[in-house]
Structure 1
């Protein structure tokens, strides 16, 4: 794992030369991954160290906190994802209104030149930096000529954007809830640039499959398991409830097939509920995961309370529906578990075996 610096004062004076890239990297999606791949190859070709520069908090949270987008992942998960690509170091810059007042030239000189001794800077065509985002690609190239670093431009990475999807029936459809899921093949598509905005749009509509295609992996949330109202346990479907401060973008309300990854790293197939459960009044919006076919021979060894877990979303099964009492809800939950089991068995992702 590479180094992580929280400020330029932590960078050794003799660190360098470097190949550097810059961005918010929210989601570390496939577009980001293409930039990181080019960064690594550039560093290798020039005998430099690969460094990614990012910001915390996200600039939008500083400039427009009331309308800033929900982040796809928290800072710790973002750093873990970036570290997984074999970077030599990550520089996290604390973003403030004062920091944002630096001119494009001052930013490049202080960070890329003086602190990181950059030999190359790897960016996309839409790079923006400096006060008021005044710096663009042309400015970066001009500054590179002035300060002696090369600018490597990465082409945009595009993905197929679904226009409509063919419905694929799930087993044992239930009355009162949708039993269709988006088909993975056979739909019209157009190319769209991979972006964090597109990921958020997909999550906010519940389309976690498209989000996964853009991210290159399933969307995940990360948090601590807390005690809930225990309604699921009373109904025979105990759930692990994520704390309300869990990191990661909460997708649209509904029932999902996915995975619960416990503190030991074991992946368990799960049916995941997102929402306020309209069958019961006064329930706050929450994310809770029911492990499918959980081990019954040693339930005391399967206590997840207080554990830090990851919940991965593979596919949305249906929207959130109010049922006429607990009995109807239990019948639907049985069908949801069967549907989740079916989806996960054909998803090609590993996990603890469902029995």
Structure 2
């Protein structure tokens, strides 16, 4: 998959042809695609299917940073995925290209027609545009599905509208929601990583670099990898069963035995030791020989084992950690 960060790069890449058929016209969709959840994948899969049938390039237009971080930073949602993971997930769907637009107030000031003409028509040479029925675009979100259809008639592209699909499990607060980034965030805020996985179609992931911590876990018999510079929404405090992935090993040796490792993951402040900093720490089950400092890793969260608790003694904490590891081992097996 080609990744373009400006118009000239995208126009050149598309003109040269992308994909197996060296396609130079496209089927396009637009969105933030935070989390690339199952609803996103239904739309993106439609893009890929139409593109293959018409021998065109399958392209997505996405934004970085998230528009909410520009318009209302104090209210912006915590992102489910950082840009690297978002691009990896988009590539896995089979897209030929992604145009990452740097979102600014200047970009937001474009009228719907200016946006469509500049990006979809002149740059990406769109012949089909796939959108949801609730699509909004252009200055003040003034563009709608009807606007896109009208512009398609002017500029010669077809518009395919995709229905909202799928429902996730009810939230604690009551009610259910369609597959959406906001639904996944709400479930993660409750610590329901299994429910979030149902929305996402995969375990939720956190990406970070292993940094030095207090080394307390090693002293207790459970050496942990402490994540710094975390990308991805951190769920509610608690202990989780999960996996630690080492992307550099997967890239160099996909079958490496240490590429995917079962883990128990702690999220929280270590209240037994009066901690104040919220941390994400992963203990690779039954391993004390790994040297992971300064390595970028990915942590997958599969199931919440329990909430964070304060223990009256270190001995009680260690006993509970043994029980957590046993439960994680059984669950991941």
**TM-score, reference length from structure 2:** 0.91
1:261 corresponds to 2:249:
no
1:152 corresponds to 2:127:
no
- Counterpart in the other structure of 1:326: 314
For the Cα contact (< 8 Å) 2:203–2:300, is it kept in 1?
Answer: yes
Please show how residues 157-306 of structure 1 align to structure 2 within 5 Å: 157-162=165-170, 192-243=177-228, 245-262=229-246, 263-265=248-250, 266-294=259-287, 299=289, 302-306=290-294
Q: 1:22 aligns with which of 26, 30, 46?
A: 30
- Counterpart in the other structure of 1:176: none
* Displacement after TM superposition at 1:161 (Å): 2.0
- Counterpart in the other structure of 1:46: 54
Distance 1:55 1:30, change over 3 A: same
- Counterpart in the other structure of 1:93: 101
- Counterpart in the other structure of 2:325: 337
SS in 2 for 1:193: coil
- Counterpart in the other structure of 2:256: none
Q: Aligned partners of 1:160 and 1:190: how far apart in 2?
A: 10
Q: Aligned partners of 1:89 and 1:163: how far apart in 2?
A: 35
Unaligned runs of 5+ in 1: 165-188, 346-355
Q: Deviation per CA, 1:105-146: give whole Å up to 9, x if none.
A: 100011111111110000111111000111011111111111
For the Cα contact (< 8 Å) 2:170–2:177, is it kept in 1?
Answer: no
- Count, aligned residues: 314
Q: Deviation per CA, 1:142-200: give whole Å up to 9, x if none.
A: 11111110001111121242367xxxxxxxxxxxxxxxxxxxxxxxx976311000000
Q: Aligned partners of 1:220 and 1:46: how far apart in 2?
A: 35
- Counterpart in the other structure of 1:314: 302
Segments ≥4 residues shifted beyond 4 Å: none
For the Cα contact (< 8 Å) 1:160–1:190, is it kept in 2?
Answer: no
- Counterpart in the other structure of 1:6: 5
Q: Aligned partners of 2:305 and 2:193: how far apart in 1?
A: 10
SS in 1 for 2:304: strand
Q: Deviation per CA, 1:293-336: give whole Å up to 9, x if none.
A: 11x6xx2xx21111111100000011011001211100110111
Q: 1:71 aligns with which of 79, 85, 93?
A: 79
CA RMSD of aligned residues (A): 1.4
- Counterpart in the other structure of 1:181: none
